[in-house]
Structure 1
Amino acid sequence: MNISLDASLIEKHSQFKIGIIHYTKITVSHSPQMIKGRMQLYQENLFLEMQEQPVTERAGIQEWRTLWKTLGADPNRYRHSAESLMRRIAKQNYLTPVHAAVDLNNFFSLQYEMPIGIYDSAKLEGDIVIALGDEETGYEGLNGRYNILKNIPYSRDKLGAFGSPFVDSLRTATSEETTQALHIFYLPPSMDEAKARQLLTSSGNMFTQVNGGDYIIDVLSAESQHTSL
């Protein structure tokens, strides 16, 4: 699988970075009780924290809101997925379990305060490019709407756009039939590569402890715009 970071994003922000994990031979099922319990407790603690510190004052959320503006999108109209999750929890609208791939994806997004997407890589065709969307970029999303991704980063394969830090597409959604997956971490620009690799390794370890399988990581940036996984 060849994955590249398009120059359109680096031109907008020279420190733009993407973290990649590619999983193979995984078995996705309902999350074990340990994960469900940990997720519930984490959300309850976040709710209490956000009584003192509003969502938009949290460092990771704030940095991505600023990046949203730099890229040309309105962070109040198109909230990135990590902020949307946080806002749900601030209203005590806690996330309910889906399956182990989605549940861990949401947990990582909350824990690291960054948008993260996970995709069934068996549903992807050809090379993957992560670029900046325009008025013609869009897809049917998990939110039940057709989403236009103008000035929002997005991922595309041979068949078209399939993911973004705003909302992901129906076409590449993971399920309990998924045996290989692509995890895309929309890293904060302030994070250096060493810390990013540590974060990806920690996430990959936890994901495969629950879902089995193997994984490989990489980081895309201005210094390294291409990878093959």
Structure 2
Amino acid sequence: MDELNEQEAFLARCAIDVEVHALRPDYRALLLVVDGLEPSTTSEAVDDLVTAAERRARELVAERPLEEHPHIAAWRDAYRAFGAKPQRTRNSVEALTRRAVDALPRVNALTDAYNAISVLQQVPIGGEDRTAYRGAARLVRAAGDEPFDTVAGGEPVIEHPERGEVVWRDDDGITCRRWNWRQGRRTALRDDTTDALFILDALGPMSDADLQFAGDALADALRQLGRQVRIARRVVRGS
């Protein structure tokens, strides 16, 4: 199977569980599978995106409180629907935008690119090392006993979600808790990542056209990070 067919086969197996769809029927995820990334690549274009994202974050805060912006407000409502407290566990786009008002964290060009696009397009984005996946990515409501590989107090630990929590998972356990709140260590992007999965989360205030535009912006940035970058994409909806 060639690389593009393998990417598409992986995407075809990714799914949103019916219980998540029942919670938020307006939810969609745009998934991008990207390989051919060159880990040591730097990019002035990505640096420019980060600067633009920091400027955009300051503009958003000046307009009105962040929690009143439509997509962030929708995510706060979605968190409340499964019992999370959005003031304590903020959705990723809100948390990142708040940080960007001062400065976005600089990690590497790959992580910096998707963080910048998340703020600029006001959409939660998760980035994962796809080689660490076991089976496909699935969005489900947790049973409560699934393992989540994380760090607490500076030490690696295995935690478990609350029953009913919305989580991304694969065959081996949780890859991201509370929809898009915290990603796990096992599938996290690394400095040597060449094959990645990106998840763009959209609720009703974001149109399908705007979701695709955000995906285009991310794809354009990622193509700067390798000479033979290949990208496959798919919008996943619940049913």
Normalising by structure 2, report the TM-score: 0.81
Matched, 1:216 2:216: no
Listed one character per residue, the Cα deviations across residues 165-208 of structure 1 (whole Å, up to 9, x for unaligned) are 00101111112311111101111234343443343233213212
The residue aligned with 2:166 is 153
SS in 1 for 2:49: helix
2:148 counterpart of 1:133: no
Corresponding residue of 1:196: 211
Which residue is 2:105 aligned to? 96
C-alpha distance after superposition, 1:112-140 (max 9, x if no partner): 22221110101111232111234334523
The alignment status of 1:105 with 2:114, answered yes or no, reads: yes
Q: Deviations over 1:133-174 (max 9, x none)?
A: 343345233675765543443221121111240010111111
Quick one: distance in 2 between partners of 1:147 and 1:166? 14
Q: Please say if residues 53 and 100 of structure 2, whose CA atoms lie closer than 8 Å, have aligned partners that are also in contact.
A: no
Q: Equivalent residue of 1:170, what SS?
A: coil
User: Structure 1 pair 42/194, CA: closer, same or farther in 2 (3 Å)?
Assistant: closer
Contact in 1 for aligned 2:56/2:119 (Cα 8 Å): no
- Aligned twin of 2:17: 6
The code of the aligned residue for 2:230 comes to: D
> What is the identity, as a one-letter code, of the residue corresponding to 1:112?
Q
Instruction: Give the match for residue 87 of structure 1.
Output: 98
Q: In structure 1, how many angstroms separate the alpha carbons of the residues matched to 2:40 and 2:192?
A: 8
SS in 1 for 2:182: coil
Change (3 A) 1:142 1:84: farther
- Structure 1: which 5+ runs fail to align? 224-229
Q: Deviations over 1:49-68 (max 9, x none)?
A: 41342221222211211221
With over 3 angstroms needed to count, the CA separation of the structure-2 counterparts of 1:136 and 1:222, relative to structure 1, is: same
Give the conservation status (yes or no) of the 8 Å contact 2:150–2:158: yes
In structure 2, the gaps of 5 or more residues are 1-9
Which stretch of structure 1 is more off in the superposition, 63-72 or 177-186?
A: 63-72
Superposition deviation, residue 47 in structure 1: 2.2
For residue 19 of structure 1, what is the amino acid of its counterpart? L
> Would the alpha carbon gap of residues 77 and 103 (structure 1) be closer, same or farther in structure 2, given more than 3 Å must change?
same
Q: Which amino acid counterpart does residue 53 of structure 1 have in structure 2?
A: R
- TM-score norm. by structure 1 comes to 0.84
Q: How does 1:148-187 map to 2 (within 5 A)?
A: 148-150=160-162, 151-164=164-177, 165-187=180-202
Q: Distance in 1 between matches of 2:34 and 2:53?
A: 25
Counting matched residue pairs gives 221
Q: Is the 8 A contact 1:100 1:210 kept in 2?
A: yes
- The match for 1:226 is none
